[in-house]
Structure 1
Amino acid sequence: MSSAVYTARIEKLRDRMRETVTDLVAVGPSRHMTWLTGIDPHGDERPVLFVVSQSWAGFLMPGLNVDSVRQHTDLPMIPWSDAEGPAAALAQVLAKTGVTTPTPSLVLDETMRTDFSQLLLRALPGAHHRFTEDTVGWLRARKGADEYALLKASALLNDRACKAAIAALRPGVTEREIADVVKQTYAAAGATPEFTLICFGANGAFPHHHTGDSVLGPNDPVLIDIGGRLNGYPSDMTRVAHMGEPSAEFRKVHAVLERAVQAAVAAAKPGVAAKMVDHAARSVIAEAGYGDYFLHRTGHGLGLDVHEPPFITGNSEQILAESNVFSIEPGIYLAGKFGIRLEEVVIIRNGRAEILSELSRDIAQ
């Protein structure tokens, strides 16, 4: 993305900081930093911070990384050396922010190293601190048009990868071999795999099965949960297939989950609490008698991270907003038999949930 995108994001953060009465935001080497600046610096034990106030935004940066990072941003940097340590450089950073109140309102990156946070808190002993949920996280959950386009392209590539996996299914193939087909599809498009869960037979009843050397039998069900990263943005989708004729029970469970997906998609609108989307899916499953076999939340946000807010759980009061992106993935897991999960990633656009994938949720045979 262009530097103008990151400049605009920093200004949006400042607007949000005013709305939330926040004096200072500090993020470490993380997706938060990448989203705000486009920078993904080398990460080790040496403190790296990106700090934003109303009057200044810049980096605390190890001196040995400055020249490398400078190739990718014009944002200011205060360097420090191994011989001197970061304390004096951090004091310069804080002086440049113009924050003089002895009890500043400080937002800390919840994903950065604890020792980085402690360094900052020791320098601001009177700070009232919290995490990024109502500032950087709030902004990241509302995708811009550029992010929508990248997520859509990644989803369409995932469709192709899933089709390739299904086409490669035959008795005698292993889970690992199908995962390789998926990875090859990503590689051919310049993408990298995030995860490849290929589950044959009863392995589908493990929601987080580790793809292995299980061999596909002539009458086995198949669960395919895959995601790749294209141009920095991931995908996530789950579909099912079946060798031979699916059993009546398999078809029944699939039909229940199809209704659950449709109910959750219909419920996902701006102004609705996330828990109501979970409730919509869960109610369909419970009414069909499978409530005890739906073992996880209905979904999670998707952006630079595969899992990020909003989380679609039964107790989440978070209010969904226009341009939120998240998964809807109800599942039913029958131990020793099979598991089925149908997963879509949706974006709330124009007051409704729009599915990014264009691949059918029907049982592939």
Structure 2
Amino acid sequence: MLAHLDRLARRMDEAGLDAFVATTFENVYYLTGVASQPAQTHPHGGRCLAVVVRDRLATPYFLTSRCDVDQFLDAAVPLAGAVGFGTFHRELADDAVLTPGEQRLYDVSVLGPTPATALDALANVLREAGVAGGTVGIDEKGAPFGFLDALGDALPGTRVVPAAEDLRWVRKVKTPAEVERITASAAAAEAGIRAAVAAARPGATERELVREFELEVVRHGARPKFTLIKFGRSAVGGQQRPTDVPLRRGDGIWFDVGCVLNGYWSDLARTFALGEPDAKLARYYDAVLAGEERGIAEARPGLRGKELFDITVDGVRRAGIAHYRRHHVGHGIGVEIYEPVLITPNSEDVIEIGTVVNIETPYYEFGFGAVHVEDPFVVEPEGNRLLTTLDRGLGVLG
């Protein structure tokens, strides 16, 4: 199971929640294992919800449009119910003999209740679950304006409260299944980096390396989400689109790349040089690597994000970039690319056993370019375990 149900129960008890309603793609996936189609294709208007009741956390409800309700068959956990709202038609021929899956879909999408809207469907589910009149937490990040008030009006006596941060707190500690998925996603990104590096030669272009990275990631079953590969001094503006400027001997090659595999993100960075690296490139890379390694070594349960920030930045400064500055040097990662803990100067997020930290120490300079290393690690009782295998030293390509 992906969701950390013990933490969810604890948080719901602390907040006094009788039910929690997920509204975003990431949280619906976390609770049900369903990768909502409307949340991806219509992110501003598509509605897909998951509902968990405090005393039945392992069996969520799944609610989506009648068109997309067939996705309930993809659920990774047993569902307490599935409801489709709106209008969509699936016909049944007189002589059709349905498979078990088709019968389940027919029962839900044709014979099941027919609420007109997501709000109607949610109100009905909360009544059926016996929590109307209690306290319902809503993941407000994916709810349209006025949705919480409208739900309260539809269920008189029910207290409806925003609760997105409650589930983000739950997700800060990963289950073993989540760590496996983050590791697999990172492995797909690592394979993409290897493929791109294999194409690096004098005359190759950023666009060509981007293509090789993304093709390899797809071969590993993942979806590329961002592929930032820049040569030489252009890495100072690394978020720009790739160009056809040719790679030259002596150039640095900056990677900041990420993909999603089975619902979980990776976010990795590496730096290479084509031929013998410039002395400054090598010196500065050694410094950012030293800072990353110190952060990995000294992260521990109970440490706050701002404390790990200071440790990591100090590591870079002591290793050779005395003027090093950053707004953050890492973040949690999971079903979202940025999750608690945040490694920022003011972060009060507390590292716990089971937290996955994506630590990074990039440095950007006009006229120079960038050096960057980034990796995920999980905090475990016996110490911190790196979730990547790709060499983290400055890569020198012949």
Which bin holds the TM-score, normalised by the shorter protein? 0.7 to 0.9
Q: Which moved more, 1:27-36 or 1:188-197?
A: 188-197
Number of the residue aligned with 1:35: 30
Q: Which moved more, 1:189-198 or 1:272-281?
A: 189-198
Number of the residue aligned with 1:127: 159
Q: 2:300 aligns with which of 269, 286, 295?
A: 269
Q: 1:329 aligns with which of 360, 368, 375?
A: 360
Contact 2:283 2:320 in 1 (8 A): no
- In 1, Cα distance between equivalents of 2:355 and 2:23: 24
User: What displacement does 1:48 show?
Assistant: 3.3
User: What displacement does 1:278 show?
Assistant: 1.0
1:90 aligned partner, one-letter code: L
Number of the residue aligned with 1:52: 52
1:18 aligned partner, one-letter code: D
Q: 2:390 aligns with which of 349, 359, 362?
A: 359
User: What displacement does 1:322 show?
Assistant: 0.8
Contact 1:27 1:50 in 2 (8 A): yes
Compared CA separation, residues 93 and 223, structure 1 to 2 (3 A)? same
Q: Are 2:71 and 1:69 equivalent residues in the alignment?
A: yes
User: What displacement does 1:221 show?
Assistant: 1.1
Task: Give secondary structure in 1 for the equivalent of 2:142.
Answer: coil
Contact 1:14 1:53 in 2 (8 A): no
Question: Size of the alignment, in residue pairs?
Answer: 356
Q: 1:108 aligns with which of 126, 135, 138?
A: 138
TM-score, normalised by the number of residues in structure 2: 0.80
Q: Unpaired runs of 5+ in structure 1?
A: none
Number of the residue aligned with 1:89: 121
User: What displacement does 1:189 show?
Assistant: 2.2
- In 2, Cα distance between equivalents of 1:78 and 1:230: 27
Q: Which moved more, 1:244-253 or 1:255-264?
A: 244-253
2:142 aligned partner, one-letter code: M
User: What displacement does 1:293 show?
Assistant: 4.9
User: What displacement does 1:279 show?
Assistant: 0.9
- In 1, Cα distance between equivalents of 2:361 and 2:234: 17
Q: 1:241 aligns with which of 269, 272, 282?
A: 272
Contact 1:63 1:80 in 2 (8 A): yes
Q: Deviation digits for residues 23-68 of structure 1, max 9, x if unmatched? A: 22111141111110112233243543222223564234333433x1
Q: Unpaired runs of 5+ in structure 2?
A: 88-113
Task: Give secondary structure in 2 for the equivalent of 1:114.
Answer: coil
1:51 aligned partner, one-letter code: V
Q: 1:14 aligns with which of 9, 14, 29?
A: 9
- In 1, Cα distance between equivalents of 2:152 and 2:239: 38
Task: Give secondary structure in 2 for the equivalent of 1:155.
Answer: helix
Q: Deviation digits for residues 66-105 of structure 1, max 9, x if unmatched? A: 3x1342344313443359633543332221232354xx54
Task: Give secondary structure in 1 for the equivalent of 2:395.
Answer: coil
Compared CA separation, residues 232 and 91, structure 1 to 2 (3 A)? closer
- In 1, Cα distance between equivalents of 2:267 and 2:318: 27
Compared CA separation, residues 92 and 319, structure 1 to 2 (3 A)? same
- In 1, Cα distance between equivalents of 2:355 and 2:213: 27
- In 1, Cα distance between equivalents of 2:195 and 2:84: 49
Superposition RMSD on alpha carbons, in Å?
Answer: 2.7
1:181 aligned partner, one-letter code: E
1:342 aligned partner, one-letter code: V
Q: Deviation digits for residues 324-363 of structure 1, max 9, x if unmatched? A: 1121101111112121111111111125321111122221
Q: Deviation digits for residues 182-226 of structure 1, max 9, x if unmatched? A: 112222222221221111011222353432323212221111122
Contact 1:166 1:364 in 2 (8 A): no
User: What displacement does 1:174 show?
Assistant: 0.5
Q: Which moved more, 1:50-59 or 1:340-349?
A: 50-59
2:53 aligned partner, one-letter code: S
Q: Which moved more, 1:152-161 or 1:23-32?
A: 152-161
1:275 aligned partner, one-letter code: K
- In 2, Cα distance between equivalents of 1:346 and 1:293: 23
Q: 2:193 aligns with which of 153, 162, 166?
A: 162
Compared CA separation, residues 212 and 106, structure 1 to 2 (3 A)? farther
1:153 aligned partner, one-letter code: A
Contact 2:123 2:155 in 1 (8 A): no
Contact 1:55 1:98 in 2 (8 A): no
- In 2, Cα distance between equivalents of 1:137 and 1:325: 13
Task: Give secondary structure in 2 for the equivalent of 1:318.
Answer: coil
TM-score, normalised by the number of residues in structure 1: 0.87
User: What displacement does 1:124 show?
Assistant: 5.4
